[in-house]
């Protein structure tokens, strides 16, 4: 099996990760320590800069929520690239924490976060498979629908 090339996979998917997300407070998009990169929580930012907002299971449909999670994944990949340069250095997406701004009776949090998990598998192949938590929240900053953070192991 030929090695996975994340940059080629992104191009094939039509995804641009050349501009890392701008923090909305006093933090950085990602920090590397040793061979681990901790990527700050990213929201569902569309290419035009707007965000997907609202409660999932109320004013946000499952399809919109999955797209929101995918957009979070794109932002996290951009943040990761800004720190490591070459996405080919990714050894393993270690862990995701997916937070869903959910209506009180919503219970499909894992399905929402699949929007990000599926993207990471498409981009990084087996290295994109990860441990994960998917939880519901009463609210998220600026009423965004989804926020996701991740930990990544990278080569020296």
pLDDT of residue 4: 84
Q: C-alpha distances in angstroms, 106 versus 98, 113, 135, 148, 149?
A: 15, 14, 11, 18, 21
The hierarchical CATH code for the domain 6-15+36-154 is: 3.30.1330.40
Averaged over successive runs of 10 residues, the pLDDT of the chain (156 residues) comes to: 85 94 90 98 95 97 98 98 96 98 97 98 97 97 97 96
**pTM value?**
0.96
The ranges assigned to domains in the chain are 6-15+36-154
Q: Give which of 75, 109, 71, 76 is closest to 93, Cα–Cα.
A: 76
pLDDT in the model for residue 1 = 57
Pairing state of beta strands 36-42 and 30-33?
A: antiparallel
| Tokens read off for 140 | 């998220």
Is 142 within 8 Å of 21 (Cβ atoms)?
A: no
Q: What is the pLDDT of residue 31?
A: 97
């Amino acid at each position: 099996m030929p090695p996975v090339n994340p940059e080629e996979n992104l191009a094939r998917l039509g995804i641009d990760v050349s501009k890392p997300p701008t923090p909305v407070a006093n933090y950085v998009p990602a920090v590397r320590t040793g061979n681990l990169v901790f990527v700050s929580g990213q929201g569902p930012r569309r290419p035009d800069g707007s965000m997907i907002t609202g409660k999932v299971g109320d004013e946000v449909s499952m399809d919109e929520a999955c797209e929101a999670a995918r957009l979070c994944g794109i932002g996290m990949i951009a943040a990761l690239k800004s720190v490591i340069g070459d996405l080919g250095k990714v050894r393993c997406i270690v862990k995701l924490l997916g937070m869903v701004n959910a209506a009180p009776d919503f219970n499909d949090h894992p399905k929402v976060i699949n929007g990000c998990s599926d993207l990471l598998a498409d981009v990084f192949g087996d290295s994109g498979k990860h441990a994960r938590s998917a939880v519901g929240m009463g609210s998220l900053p600026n009423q965004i629908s989804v926020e996701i953070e991740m930990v990544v192991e990278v080569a020296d």
